[in-house]
Amino acid sequence: MSVAAVTATTEGYLLVLAIMWPVAGILVALVVNGRNIERVAYIVLPIGFAIATAVVMAVAQGGQSQIYVVGGWAPPLGVALRADGISAAMMMTTAMVICATGLFARGEFVQPAEGPEARAPYVFWILLFSIWSALNALVLGSDLFNLYVALELLTFAAVPLVCLKGQKETIEAALRYMLFALIGSVLYLLGAVMIYGLYGTLDIGLLSGRVRAEPATWIAAALMTVGLLAKTALFPLHLWLPPAHAGAPAPGSAILSALVVKGSFFLIVRIWFDAMPGHLSFAAAQLLAALGAGAILVGSVLALRQQRLKLMIAYSTIAQLGYLFFIFPLATGFAAGIVWSGLAWTGSWMQLFSHAFAKAAMFMAAGLIAEALGHDRIADLGGIGRKLPITMFAFALSGLSLIGVPPSGGFVAKWLLLIATINEGQWWWAAVIVVGGLLAGGYIFMVLGRLLADPLSPLVIRGAVSRSRELVALSLAVCAVLLGLVPLQPSDFLRIGR
């Protein structure tokens, strides 16, 4: 991409709004007192959703990327924001999950009617807005350093969400998360500095035409990739994720698992498919996929062994993230128009979107069960499915998508990946996908069996569960299933801007 080619489009201003609107919510929240922040939230959420919808429509109707040149200075002197098909789809998924989480959190993070203000609800909404802004900046950015800044903003908003309850174990989990995240940040920044020293720019569009196949480039790319893998919690760098996601409050777990870990994966894709197109070697692609396969198998086996529901869901996240990394060996021919690579490209993003909806719904369902019983021990869940049928239905629909049962979005994703693996002659990944689905069925049906089983002792409901919160979880689970209605072919929308 030449400098002259980077020009703002008519709807480019929407990209700035998408980043700055949640920031505006934070600034207003700092002015109003804690009892009014929820009112601010229910203004910010629908307008933010409308902005994301407008970006998707602009990209779809225009058939091209939407671009905003910050300050009128085109790269490499300035910075440009860019929304292509996958960016717009990520923005829409983010908006839907965050808005649903905001509605769900209303029953948990609410100010007491009398007495002093509680700090947790105030902090929660600030962190939610921060994560939203950082994720939008991450998917819209086209400069490696500004992407680093967005990634750090995302991390520093996500870590406090883990320990919002203030318990000892959640603080320890947050510190472990912070340690892995900071190590990943240092490695990424070192790689970005090397890239700038080699090519004199950090703009992804300009790098795509300048990057050369030389040892220094491979070292820089490897540093950035390993750093981002630590933030994504890909096996074997996953040790921080289970305690962090399981210890966070249910709305926090939903955001962390559905969205936050996907941000760093998105950036890995940007590096290898956009900044360095055609430079991903066969060995490197196979290595990334092998780590993904390890995540599927190890994460699934560990999920089967868990005694707590939220921990089981957290290990399931590790397993489901592994499928995303099949994009590297299977979609390398996407730019050349190879049809099977196009299927792998579509299937990988479908896996990301369907997992986001399903996992957010699953963590919400687990949170409601824990509120009702006062615990989330799988062995003692007998009978709760009859008391909370909507919650159980939301968990079941989400689980079916994770397994890959038709007609869910998870089925579409895994089916497209299977077709790509077989037709590209990489059948070994097909075996992993099938085994991963069977293992997922094992831990999902294990929980469903307990939910429907007769209780070992009279069931005591310790807390009332709001029907509206159950419906929020169910709506996200339904979204994961409805994605299965997408045609089984490469999506034209995900090709826009490529």
pLDDT tens string 130-160: 999 999 999 999 889 999 999 999 999 999 9
Burial class (CB in 10 A: 0-12, 13-18, 19+), 166: exposed
Phi, psi (rounded to 5 degrees) for 388? -125, 70
pTM of the model: 0.93
3 pLDDT band (50/70/90 cuts)?
very low
Rounded mean pLDDT, 277-288: 89
Half-sphere exposure of 46 (CA within 13 A, CB side): 5
Residues in the chain: 498
Please give the Cα distance from 15 to 127 (Å, whole number): 21
Q: Which residue has the higher pLDDT, 211 or 6?
A: 211
What is the model's pLDDT at position 147? 93
Token reading at 333: 């021919």
Helix (H) or strand (E) holding 470: helix 467-482
21 pLDDT band (50/70/90 cuts)?
very high
422-440 per-position pLDDT tens digit = 988 888 999 999 999 999 9
Q: 18 near 52, Cβ under 8 Å?
A: yes
Q: Which residue has the higher pLDDT, 2 or 198?
A: 198
Token reading at 401: 């998508």
Please give the Cα distance from 312 to 379 (Å, whole number): 12
> Above 70 in pLDDT, residue 1?
no
Token reading at 66: 């939407």
In Å, how far are 95, 297, 418, 420, 423 from 323, measured between CA atoms?
23, 11, 11, 13, 18
Rounded mean pLDDT, 266-291: 91
> Above 50 in pLDDT, residue 4?
no
Cα distance between the two ends of the chain: 12
Of 334, 333, 331, 299, which Cα lies nearest the Cα of 315?
299
Token reading at 436: 């991963």
DSSP-derived 3-state class of residue 173 = helix
Please give the Cα distance from 226 to 232 (Å, whole number): 10
2 pLDDT band (50/70/90 cuts)?
very low
Of 442, 433, 86, 438, which Cα lies nearest the Cα of 292?
433
Domain residue limits, the chain: 282-498
Helix residue spans in 200-281 (DSSP H): 204-210, 215-232, 241-247, 250-255, 261-269
Please give the Cα distance from 146 to 435 (Å, whole number): 39
Please give the Cα distance from 117 to 304 (Å, whole number): 41
For the four alpha carbons of 66, 138, 351 and 254, in that order, the dihedral sign comes to: negative
Q: 130 near 157, Cβ under 8 Å?
A: yes
